[in-house]
Structure 1
Amino acid sequence: MTDEKLTQGQADEKQINDAFQDLLDRYLESKHRKKVEIITKAFNFARQAHKGVRRRSGEPYILHPIAVARIACVEIGLGSTSICSALLHDVVEDTDYTVEDIENLFGPKIAQIVDGLTKISGGIFGDRASAQAENFKKLLLTMNDDIRVILIKIADRLHNMRTLGSMLPSKQYKIAGETLYIYAPLANRLGLNRIKTELEDLSFKYEHPETYAEIEKKLESTKAERDNVFKEFTAPIKEQLDKMGVPYRILARIKSPYSIWNKMQAKHITFEEIYDILAVRIIFTPRNEEEELNDCFDIYVAISKIYKPHPDRLRDWVSHPKANGYQALHVTLMSNKGQWIEVQIRSERMNDVAEQGFAAHWKYKEGGGSEDEGELTKWLKTIKEILDDPQPDALDFLDTIKLNLFASEIFVFTPKGEIKTMPQNCTALDFAFSIHTFLGSHCIGAKVNHKLVPLSYKLQSGDQVEILTSKSQKVQPSWINFATTAKAKAKIQAILKREKREQQQKGEDMIADFFQRNEMESSDENIKKLCNLHNVKTYEELALGVGQGVFTLTDNDKNEIKEKPTQANWKKYISFAFGGGNKQKQTSKKKEDETQQQTLNIDKKKIIKLTPDAIQKNYILADCCKPIPGDDVLGYIDDNNRIVIHKRQCPIASQLKTSFGNRLLAVQWETGKALIFPVNVYVKGIDGIGVLNHVTQIISEQLNVNIHKLNIESNDGIFEGRIQLYVHDVDDVNTICTNLKKIENIKKVTRIENYDDVISD
């Protein structure tokens, strides 16, 4: 037994030493200063601190910090400070060592980063929505202190996703959902394109394993065909680039499984209908730094002489980089085989930024770096401003921030010709708030390209915008309906709340003055009488109405109070002045605690079996996504301790995964063919005599499926149809779709969630 332990111990030691040596080797290959001594010191300290601890997978725990440090070094391009912080990132959280201990041994900078990582440990979201918002705020605030905190946190999440297989299914859903909701867009916004893609693919793999495997299989089976297309398409391009004498390399870029699936879902198309799976990337070394931009356009001109470019698909991110620092020239060319192929032209420097993000080359880079006010700096400043305003609702706060995380950029100009990067679909009002809060709160309209437009006008790339203001203008509640950026929404809400508080306070003072002037007691009973007289439920509503001038306190109010008290159950009324709000919070918290306790009574390690009897008695199939047997699903324990079944890709489920991960359950269908479920199918094609008859014949007679509802419309020779059917499972739907696609002139058949869904081509 002792020999076995010794052998296991020796195997662990070798595995740990090999992993650390690999980290050191990769660090020494980088351009950073070679601070091997402090990295070795951090490794030895972390190794001792985590001694004897193992991960859920069974491997020694120290291998996780080493892996995170390797990602930070190799895949993000960070240096010794970040590597040490990554090696130490779980020490304060999981052992008895403190931040002060880290500071004494490794200095204030590493201690500050480890402290930031400790504050946001355990994932962005806690078990309750309120904790969720606070942890998310901490995460964003630490970004503002030192961007390396979030970069190491992304590295930590990437390694956790790579090793997610050892977790329980319910945990996998929570972590995968959280990753797609926050970490992938954060990585994208910080320019970490390769990491963003891997996070998306890994999340997709765990949420929809069968679909992921199917797409991977189709990518593999079509690889040879793509290789031939790439070879034929790039041959004349290589010949032309060789003549130009510019050092280059040409790569094939294949669309990721998640991106393919996303497009299939959004466009309601099959894998075979996606035509941009292959793109071509030209990466060149410029003649010199000054000629980099010119070389980009020279290559574009050269390849445009070989293949005809698409007139509407030139994307110039060289002259105007994306907000995450991405630079490239994208052009779509028509191949000799009649296929549109996108070509991305980048310098080696642009490619480094695209793959690793410019955060690695930014002001915190070891050995000094540029102090320029880049887009990332502006974005962090915007987030800081948003965090300065209180946000009582956790989910609203997250959705507001996500407006900025996901936004695509457009470029607009000020009257003086200065360029501003703004999110796509932003309005003139958003632009006003992006310049200054005072400008936004006093704007009355705008001139776009010298023409007068309303504040709700949606800006286009290239617009020149002038904001018109008035000192008498005030923020209007209706503005929140067409503000789209996080900053504008946050500022509008903050101003409206402040005004509401001021009006309520004014009303409270007027009510107190009314009682004092008329020598009456400001009792609960008298306040209740005033509320009843003005038809409001609470003291807060009364005070706000009085402050806004909606209600006026007159002799009628005085007479009402002086009447004999009624037998109304006024004791239930608790006024604002006597702390009703606190009691309400206590009640709410008690209810939440009770719900939390109830959820714990369900064995979450157990996979829920959806048998016919169980579905009819114990579970609710969510109406928002209408799951049927065969769909990838999960269970959610609601506030009434009922289990609601959602599709995993349902938008509501996505929010539940990130907000209430502790209430998720793994679910497995076991219905056989015992139950039937309604599904909706959309068909589109070229109109002709007998098409409807052919469709109904296949469904009803050949497949023996009951049609519940049918609607066919024809316009200009094109027909669209919506059919509601009753089926047993997803296999039935697939069989129906496959058979309908065989009908001549039917061009599209797809399952839709709602009968009236709008389908875009």
Structure 2
Amino acid sequence: MQNIDLEEERKVILREYRKLLRKSKPFLKDGDAKLIKKAFTTSMEAHKEMRRKSGEPYILHPIAVATICVEEIGLGTTSIISALLHDVVEDTDWELEDIEREFGPKVAPIIDGLTKISGVFEYGTSQQAENFRKMLLTLSKDVRVILIKLADRLHNMRTLESMPRNKQLKIASETIFLYAPLAHRLGLYAIKSELEDLHLKYTESEVYRDIANKINNTKAARKRFINNFISPIEGELDKLKWNYYIKGRPKSIYSIWSKMKKQNIPFEQVYDLFAIRIIIEAPDEHEKAACWEVYSIVTDFYKPNPDRLRDWISTPKANGYESLHTTVMSDNGSWVEVQIRTSRMDEIAEKGYAAHWKYKDYYTKPEETRLEQWIARVREMLESNDTNAIEFLDDFRSNLFSDEVFVFTPKGELKTLPNGATALDFAFDIHTEVGAKCLGAKVNNKLVPLNYELKNGDQVEILTSNKQKPSEDWLRFVVSSKAKSKIKDVLKEDKKYAAVEGKEIVYRKLKQMKITPSDEVINKIRAYFEEKTPLDLYYGIATGKHDPKNIKKFQDEVLEGPQKNTKRIRSSADAKSFEQELKKAKGEDMLLIGEDMDVVDYVIAACCNPIPGDEVFGFVTVNEGIKIHRTSCPNAPELLSNHGNRVIKARWTSQQEIAFLAGLQIIGTDRVGLISDVTQIISSELEVNMQSISVDTKDGIFEGKIHLFVQNTKHLEQLIEKLKAVRGIVKVNRYD
């Protein structure tokens, strides 16, 4: 056991605490410092026996969270106290009543919002989703809960190194699934970018390191380029005696990776690797004119791309973000993104919600309080939503990701809706009753159907009829969470009546089969019939979608099936109970699973088709034992965020050579003999078996898709490199 230098630790704690006080000093009022000290000593005492996974004293975590709240978000005294105490109720004997008595009625509700729900959860629900919902419900009362939670998550991500692999995956996936979009929506761009980068660092570590190294290697050249690029702009701004500063920053690693993936291009082909930001000092009433004047100066020297102009000064984003973005062609032939904003706009862009409130007096027009409007919309959604927690989270997330579309009512009132919103979304945004009775719409005086996708500047008039009522189809083309939840509410009422009959049928069948209809059994039947909720199952049985006779098949295949196969492991509710059974199931496969890295039976997930060499994790399913997914699987964030307790460690071992199916896409210029050369390399040189090959040629461009069997990622990479060397081939990549 390592020796702990308690005196040294005490010095570190005091140093971090004093740093926090220094950062908060500018806004402390009388008595604030005393309250912060009291919160610090309370937290210190409550956590005195506790250590983090890294071995350091636990108290350093709440101090770090409080420092992030002050320094990176711009929050005040109440938030500092809440951040210092945020884990006290959850981890110690302290109760909320004690917090309220000692620190007052403002701090207690914030601590309550930050404290996880404990207790037993119904089978098939998600404790993580329930905790997210509880935390988000506080958004309607006090947005500081979310901001402190983001600071807490940021510090946890910065110190994720010491956590076990399955915990790293769970925490990183929750981060990309909910916390990064939340930070984006609340305007915390710096935090959002860092959370995304850290997610990539722990889920795709090789990709992260590769891009980070390439950014680092181009640093000197980039600096030279930026200096040359801004030199004429600086000269002109100096001549006009502007107060300004210019900074060049590389795009985040995550956004570069997203672009590479989306456009299927290597790092070298990402053209806007960095952005130039010009920040000016200007009085409030002249901000807009000043930004356009700087735009005019920039475009005097460099030619702008007309399709890449973004004016978020005239119509700010829903999170309060204001800036003028243009992409211009530099002298050396590369595109550069230029962002123009004032120092007020820059502070709102960096610190989001907290800075937005600092400048609240500036906002006079109703359309300029969009962040408040968004929070009011979320509040309404939270209060009216009675769906299960996972469904609720899906609806909430759809509200976080999207950009906006700006449209007008017949009277010229501006409405902001999520990008991709339809006429029906607009109807529900006006009023629930208008949405429920919506028959169609007139857009710019032309008649359009319900599913018409709105465009910026459309003027929309809704047509209604008392005979109209929502249908299941409507859910396919609405994108706003308000519309989705209202449609679901109406459909749910209709469903409930039919489902009562379906439930009776299911219970009667189970009684005949002498099976007790417990939550676990019902949940297994739900999964067997591939329905999302028990209500959907009962409704499907009642309406004839599912044949009740198949419940007997379910008994044979699911309840009795696993017992007939000694190698198959019984499904368990979570990873822990599964791991206890692993020792009974040794086999010959080549994947090591669980804490003790046992060899057990598993199923390869069809959604991402992992092969040896890929980074993977195991997921305990309800009916199919362990499923193996790649950490980069498109479904991974959702699985790990909602059911982190079912995650199990897994890694490949090169025990034996088994062939795994992989897909390759090949693009090139067509020529005689190209297919022959490709198949020669695959079959003869590397002795790889092909399952199928499909080729499409158009206007001299060749595109082939090949399914083939490889042993591991190294084998696949070797094959890709060989194929790239074939004359005429431009690009070769793996696809799922």
Q: Same fold (TM over 0.5)?
A: yes
Aligned pair partner of 2:9 in 8, 12, 19: 12
Cα distance between partner residues in 1 of 2:295 and 2:690: 54
Report how far residue 157 of structure 1 moved: 0.8
State yes or no: 1:187 paired with 2:183.
yes
Bigger drift between 689-698 and 132-141 goes to 689-698
State yes or no: 1:728 paired with 2:711.
yes
Q: How does 1:440-451 map to 2 (within 5 A)?
A: 440-451=435-446
Bigger drift between 343-352 and 597-606 goes to 597-606
Please tell me whether the aligned partners of residues 85 and 114 of structure 1 are also in contact (alpha carbons under 8 angstroms): yes
Aligned pair partner of 1:414 in 390, 409, 422: 409
Identify the residue that residue 604 of structure 2 maps to in structure 1. Answer: 621
Aligned letter for 1:179?
A: T
State yes or no: 1:46 paired with 2:29.
no
Query: In 2 relative to 1, CA 541–169 (structure 1 residues): closer, same or farther, beyond 3 Å?
Result: closer
Query: In 2 relative to 1, CA 375–609 (structure 1 residues): closer, same or farther, beyond 3 Å?
Result: farther
Aligned pair partner of 1:242 in 238, 256, 260: 238
Cα distance between partner residues in 1 of 2:266 and 2:689: 25
Aligned pair partner of 2:109 in 112, 124, 127: 112
Aligned letter for 1:277?
A: L
Q: How does 1:120-199 map to 2 (within 5 A)?
A: 129-199=125-195
| Secondary structure of the corresponding residue to residue 89 of structure 1 | coil
Identify the residue that residue 330 of structure 2 maps to in structure 1. Answer: 335
Identify the residue that residue 281 of structure 1 maps to in structure 2. Answer: 277
Identify the residue that residue 399 of structure 1 maps to in structure 2. Answer: 394
Q: Deviations over 1:517-545 (max 9, x none)?
A: xxxxxxxxxxxxxxxxxxx8655899xxx
Cα distance between partner residues in 1 of 2:322 and 2:223: 26
Cα distance between partner residues in 1 of 2:394 and 2:241: 50
Aligned pair partner of 1:492 in 464, 477, 487: 487
Aligned pair partner of 1:315 in 295, 302, 310: 310
Report how far residue 641 of structure 1 moved: 6.9
Any stretches of 5+ residues in structure 2 without a counterpart?
528-569, 593-598
Aligned letter for 1:118?
A: T
Aligned letter for 2:253?
A: P
Q: How does 1:18-97 map to 2 (within 5 A)?
A: 18-29=15-26, 35-97=32-94
Cα distance between partner residues in 2 of 1:653 and 1:645: 11
Identify the residue that residue 233 of structure 1 maps to in structure 2. Answer: 229
Please tell me whether the aligned partners of residues 36 and 80 of structure 2 are also in contact (alpha carbons under 8 angstroms): yes
Cα distance between partner residues in 1 of 2:162 and 2:332: 46
Query: What RMSD over aligned residues (CA atoms) do the two structures have, in Å?
Result: 3.4
Please tell me whether the aligned partners of residues 480 and 489 of structure 1 are also in contact (alpha carbons under 8 angstroms): yes
Report how far residue 110 of structure 1 moved: 1.3
Q: Deviations over 1:463-509 (max 9, x none)?
A: 111111223322233212211111101001101222444x669xx9x
Please tell me whether the aligned partners of residues 612 and 675 of structure 1 are also in contact (alpha carbons under 8 angstroms): no
Aligned letter for 1:267?
A: Q
Query: In 2 relative to 1, CA 121–585 (structure 1 residues): closer, same or farther, beyond 3 Å?
Result: closer
Query: In 2 relative to 1, CA 382–584 (structure 1 residues): closer, same or farther, beyond 3 Å?
Result: farther
Report how far residue 609 of structure 1 moved: 12
Any stretches of 5+ residues in structure 1 without a counterpart?
509-535, 543-567, 575-579, 754-761
Report how far residue 628 of structure 1 moved: 0.7
Identify the residue that residue 602 of structure 1 maps to in structure 2. Answer: 579
Aligned pair partner of 1:291 in 279, 286, 292: 286
Query: In 2 relative to 1, CA 145–280 (structure 1 residues): closer, same or farther, beyond 3 Å?
Result: same
Cα distance between partner residues in 1 of 2:363 and 2:118: 29
Report how far residue 408 of structure 1 moved: 1.2
Identity of aligned residues (%): 47
Bigger drift between 686-695 and 625-634 goes to 686-695
Cα distance between partner residues in 2 of 1:355 and 1:539: 56
| Secondary structure of the corresponding residue to residue 454 of structure 2 | coil
Q: Deviations over 1:638-669 (max 9, x none)?
A: 22472211011212222211122112122221
Cα distance between partner residues in 1 of 2:106 and 2:482: 30
Aligned letter for 1:595?
A: S
Query: In 2 relative to 1, CA 149–220 (structure 1 residues): closer, same or farther, beyond 3 Å?
Result: same
Cα distance between partner residues in 1 of 2:63 and 2:489: 44
Query: In 2 relative to 1, CA 583–384 (structure 1 residues): closer, same or farther, beyond 3 Å?
Result: farther
Identify the residue that residue 596 of structure 2 maps to in structure 1. Answer: none
Cα distance between partner residues in 2 of 1:604 and 1:672: 23
Report how far residue 169 of structure 1 moved: 0.8
Query: In 2 relative to 1, CA 80–390 (structure 1 residues): closer, same or farther, beyond 3 Å?
Result: closer
Cα distance between partner residues in 2 of 1:190 and 1:604: 44
What TM-score do the two structures reach when normalised by structure 2?
A: 0.86
Cα distance between partner residues in 2 of 1:140 and 1:463: 33
Please tell me whether the aligned partners of residues 363 and 371 of structure 1 are also in contact (alpha carbons under 8 angstroms): no
Identify the residue that residue 432 of structure 1 maps to in structure 2. Answer: 427
Query: In 2 relative to 1, CA 609–356 (structure 1 residues): closer, same or farther, beyond 3 Å?
Result: farther
Q: Deviations over 1:572-594 (max 9, x none)?
A: 499xxxxx9x9554754799998
| Secondary structure of the corresponding residue to residue 57 of structure 2 | coil
| Secondary structure of the corresponding residue to residue 441 of structure 2 | strand
Report how far residue 166 of structure 1 moved: 1.4
Q: How does 1:296-695 map to 2 (within 5 A)?
A: 296-362=291-357, 374-501=369-496, 539=504, 572=512, 583-585=517-519, 587-588=521-522, 595-596=572-573, 599-602=576-579, 612-613=589-590, 618-640=601-623, 642-671=625-654, 674-695=657-678
Cα distance between partner residues in 2 of 1:149 and 1:73: 14
Question: Highest CA radius of gyration, 1 or 2?
Answer: 1
Please tell me whether the aligned partners of residues 572 and 620 of structure 2 are also in contact (alpha carbons under 8 angstroms): no
Bigger drift between 739-748 and 459-468 goes to 739-748
Query: In 2 relative to 1, CA 609–434 (structure 1 residues): closer, same or farther, beyond 3 Å?
Result: farther
